[in-house]
Amino acid sequence: MAQSTRPNRLFRNLNAKIAALPMIATALVVFIGFTVWTIVHSFTKSKLLPKLDFVGFAQYERLWGTRRWLVSIENLAFYGISSLVFSLTIGFLLACLLDQKIRFENTFRTIILYPFALSFIVTGLVWQWILNPEFGVQNIVRSLGFSEFVFDPLYNADVVIFGILIAGLWQGTGFIMVIMLAGLRGIDQEIWKASRIDGIPSWKTYIFVVIPMMRPVFITALVLIAAGIVKVYDLVVAQTNGGPGNASEVPAKYVYDMMFKNQNLGQGFAASTVMLLSVLVILIPWAYLEFGGRKGDK
Amino acid sequence: MNSLKKLLVATTAICSVTAGAFATDLEVTHWWTSGGEAAAVAEFAKAFNATGNNWVDGAIAGGGGVARPVIISRILGGDPMGATQLNHGRQAEELVEAGLMLDLTDIATEGGWRDIVNPTGLLDSCTVDGKIYCVPVNIHSWQWIWLSHKAFADAGVDVPSNWDEFTASADALVAAGKTPLAMGQQSWQSSGAFGVINVAIGGLDLWTKINVNKDAEAAAGPEMAKVFEAYGAARVLSEGSNVQDWNQATNMVITGEAGGQIMGDWAQGEFQVAGQTAGVDYTCLPGLGVNEIISTGGDAFYFPKNDDPEVTAAQKELAKLMISKPVQVAFNLKKGSLPVRGDIDMSTANDCMQKGLEILAAGNIMPDGNQVLSADTSGQIEDLMVEFWNDTSMTPAEAQAAYAAIIAEAD
């Protein structure tokens, strides 16, 4: 479509570019400027207030020598991978089930999507109560006669992260399902007809035809889930507040506690810089593969 | 979820200086939310409203660890409240140095605070470069264990009179289906209990060496190993105590579900609200009955600087009020804490408070952890202690090594 006799590219769509200037400036100052500021201050020994008192990599050394941080990283990795896998799988399966032209589809869709309307704080509190041994699931099962039944994931350091994962999935999967459902509805009915004529079983059609066709939908879902993982904070604060002990700490909470509770900005900035780096390490190669190499491709 | 909302507002606010909507409305933030505490803070509000001003209550639930960050980020973010509770000592150090707090020296001199505040160390903690920036309102000490008479009666043993007797009676309590030691899951509670055991078992000299002089060798030494052993033993006693907040743990003692709780004297307010009598329904042992000493930390009110002169006037009014005789008596009786002035009549105080007043009069006092350790160091110790308390695979020796490393780095 491009015409070869265009004038300077810079002045193309000038009005739109001028209109975008404030947003560009905001992005530059907020995203780039503040990020650089944070990184610079992570090399200082700032306490409650930022001061340019450089100490080299001391904050990073302390960071990687702190057990609580290591536990946080481990938890985030586990939570991240599990919630990615389970959200996509369960979301897709639910969407496929709803796509079978069942009765009361609207009702089911609403019920499954409903938790997404709740904030993480409410989700966290609800699941804190459900998983509380004194008045939650354990109590109900015990009152049915199984007096030895034990189910208290939030009070067991080894499995507490599962308790948080359950709550996170309960909240987020419905949304992924809706996106998947929209993707499935976008698949041309002709394809289904064709595969039926060829006698291909429907599960094979899903895996080998429909899923590859839904690639953009999967990418969208992936980005949404990934963004949710990195910033997981409020769910943990509401549900366990990092406990028992330090067993369910997450990096975002470490950053916050260091900055405001321990009054050690330098340490908090070092931790947040590491978080940013780890996101970039994953994001840059992926973005390069996705958008860089093959222009013109979808 | 009010606190979270405030937190969001505070962290995203871009330095918009907002004066209060009405000049004499003074928002006061604090983390006194349990029954006894709320009753005590209502005394302040009542006295302040009687002066024609309006106390806007800004209670933040979740204890100091949750509230302090909210308070500090609001002050730093340019949305200061009228007045705020903080603990004495180093928590507000940098805020004062940055000039964010109102200088109260004039009213302090006028009211002769230096003569009436006892012990004077409390006022020293409010003083930076010779100027006074906060009003101490009470003295709280950590060094108490609260014992439930009902629990020991049910178990068929006498109420212990010191820590050793308490640990010895633990088996009988367990046999009777009780939790010997109630303990909330929040990190400041396990860390506070550690401080209490430290002084009771290790003595004040050892405590001073480590916490004041930051002697890492003493922290790694054999004396301290005994303290960690005792702390490890206490961990075993608290198995089955799954509550979060300290007042829920106190409630276990009140109902007789647990034998005892190591908690500061603010627990007293809860017993009072539950209608229990010291010496009849519960017993308190200062210094775990081993080493009778109390720390003189406590709460103080700071007044963030404000552009509006009317607000400043109201702030000074409130400061004067908080340290005045009638308010001190009314507040501290409800709160279960000791008053900051020695010249008032506390004869209506109960058994436990009288014990505390005696120890205070005898001069068996020590500084509070918040007065000698920075927020950073306290935070690291809290993280370590709560981890140790919940992770039974961590041995006392491992915890001691980590503790010594923190002390070596402390500033």
Q: Which of A6-15, A168-177, A200-209, B283-292 has the highest mean pLDDT?
A: A168-177
Taking contacts as CB-CB distances below 8 angstroms, the residues of chain B near A121 are 1, 4
B59 and B186 together in one domain: no
B301 and B290 together in one domain: no
Asked if the structure places residue B272 within a domain, the reply is yes
> What is the C-alpha to C-alpha distance for residues A120 and A172, in angstroms, rounded to an integer?
10
Residue A181 has what pLDDT? 92
Residue-wise burial string across B379-393, b where 16 or more C-beta atoms lie within 10 A, e elsewhere: bbbbbbbbbbbbbee
How deeply is B347 buried, as exposed, middle or buried, from its count of CB atoms within 10 A (0-12, 13-18, 19+)? Answer: exposed
Residues B259/B179, Cβ–Cβ less than 8 Å: yes
The region of weakest confidence among A77-86, B13-22, B343-352 is B13-22
B345 and B235 together in one domain: no
Asked if the structure places residue B171 within a domain, the reply is yes
Taking contacts as CB-CB distances below 8 angstroms, the residues of chain B near A49 are 76, 94, 98
B3 vs A163, more confident: A163
CB contact under 8 A, B391 and A68: no
Residue B2 has what pLDDT? 56
Average pLDDT, chain B: 87
Average pLDDT, chain A: 87
Identify the domain boundary among B337, B357, B377: B357
Identify the domain boundary among B324, B339, B357: B357
Interface probe for B, chosen from A49, A254, A263 (most Cβ of B below 10 Å), is A263
Residue B107 has what pLDDT? 92
Nearest to B332 by CA among B320, B344, B316: B344
CATH code of the domain containing B338: 3.40.190.10
Residue B181 has what pLDDT? 93
Identify the domain boundary among B319, B335, B357: B357
Element (DSSP H or E) covering residue A237: helix A234-239
Strands B282-286 and B365-366: unpaired
B26 and B117 together in one domain: yes
Helix, strand, coil percentages for chain A (3-state, nearest 5)? 70, 0, 30
Residue A88 has what pLDDT? 94
Q: How confident is the model at residue A298 (pLDDT cuts 50, 70, 90)?
A: very low
CB contact under 8 A, A245 and B402: no
Extents of the domains making up chain A: 69-292
B118 and B153 together in one domain: no
Q: How confident is the model at residue A6 (pLDDT cuts 50, 70, 90)?
A: low
| DSSP SS3 for A44 | strand
Asked if the structure places residue B381 within a domain, the reply is yes
Residues A218/A88, Cβ–Cβ less than 8 Å: yes
Residue B365 has φ and ψ, to the nearest 5°, of -125, 155
Asked if pLDDT for residue A294 goes beyond 60, the answer is no
Residue at A204: amino acid letter? K
Alpha-carbon dihedral of residues B305, B307, B312, B313, nearest 10 degrees?
A: 170
For A282, the token pair is 């994953």
Instruction: Mark which residues 192-251 of B lie under 8 Å from A by CB.
Output: 242, 244
Q: Which residue has the tokens 């209060």?
A: B20
Over residues B68-89, the mean pLDDT reads 87
Residue B4 has what pLDDT? 54
Query: Which among A121, A246, A267 is the nearest to B4, CB-wise?
Result: A121
Residue B382 has φ and ψ, to the nearest 5°, of -60, -45
Asked if the structure places residue B62 within a domain, the reply is yes
Does B291 contact chain A (CB < 8 Å)?
Answer: no
Asked if the structure places residue B4 within a domain, the reply is no
B339 and B273 together in one domain: no
A157 vs B236, more confident: B236
Taking contacts as CB-CB distances below 8 angstroms, the residues of chain A near B70 are 260
CB contact under 8 A, B386 and A262: no
B109 and B22 together in one domain: yes
Element (DSSP H or E) covering residue A80: helix A67-98
> What is the C-alpha to C-alpha distance for residues B282 and B253, in angstroms, rounded to an integer?
8
Residue A87 has what pLDDT? 93
Residue B315 has what pLDDT? 92
Question: What ipTM did this prediction achieve?
Answer: 0.78
B195 and B118 together in one domain: no
Q: Report the number of distinct structural domains present in chain B.
A: 2
Q: If you measure CA to CA, which chain A residue comes closest to B74? A: A260
Angle between helices A215-230 and A160-185 (to 10 degrees): 150
Residues B163/B200, Cβ–Cβ less than 8 Å: yes
B385 and B348 together in one domain: no
Over residues B325-333, the mean pLDDT reads 90
Asked if the structure places residue B1 within a domain, the reply is no
Residue B175 has what pLDDT? 92
The region of weakest confidence among A17-21, A46-50, B386-390 is A46-50
Residue B12 has what pLDDT? 44
Residue B10 has what pLDDT? 47
Asked if pLDDT for residue B3 goes beyond 70, the answer is no
A32 DSSP assignment = I
Taking contacts as CB-CB distances below 8 angstroms, the residues of chain B near A264 are 375-376, 379
How deeply is A204 buried, as exposed, middle or buried, from its count of CB atoms within 10 A (0-12, 13-18, 19+)? Answer: exposed
- Reported as a single tens digit per residue, the pLDDT across B27-73 is 999 999 888 889 999 999 999 999 888 999 999 987 777 888 889 88
Residue B6 has what pLDDT? 57
Contacts of B301 (CB under 8 A, 6+ apart): B28, B83, B84, B85, B86, B134, B135, B137, B318, B319, B322
> What is the C-alpha to C-alpha distance for residues B216 and B213, in angstroms, rounded to an integer?
9
3-state secondary structure chain B: CHHHHHHHHHHHCCCCCCCCCCCCEEEEEECCCCHHHHHHHHHHHHHHHCCCCEEEEEECCCCHHHHHHHHHHHHHCCCCCCEEEEECCHHHHHHHHCCCECCCHHHHHHHCHHHHECCCHHHHHHEECCEECEEECCEECCCEEEEEHHHHHHHCCCCCCCHHHHHHCHHHHHHCCCEEEECCCCHHHHHHHHHHHHHHHHHHHHHHHHHCCCCHHHHHCHHHHHHHHHHHHHHHHCCCCCCCCHHHHHHHHHCCCEEEEECCCCHHHHHHHCCCCECCCEEEEEHHHCCCCEECECEEEECECCCCHHHHHHHHHHHHHHCCHHHHHHHHHHHCCECCECCCCCCCCCHHHHHHHHHHHHCCEECCHHHHCCHHHHHHHHHHHHHHHHCCCCCHHHHHHHHHHHHHHCC
Asked if pLDDT for residue B361 goes beyond 80, the answer is yes
CB contact under 8 A, A261 and B69: yes
CA B68 from centroid of its chain's CA atoms: 13
Half-sphere exposure of B19 (CA within 13 A, CB side): 10
- Reported as a single tens digit per residue, the pLDDT across B222-280 is 999 999 999 999 999 988 787 888 889 999 999 999 999 999 988 888 898 899 988 88
Boundaries of domain holding B405: 144-295+367-409
Q: Which one of 3.30.43.10, 1.10.10.10, 1.10.3720.10, 3.90.870.40 gives the CATH number of domain A69-292? A: 1.10.3720.10
Residue at A8: amino acid letter? N
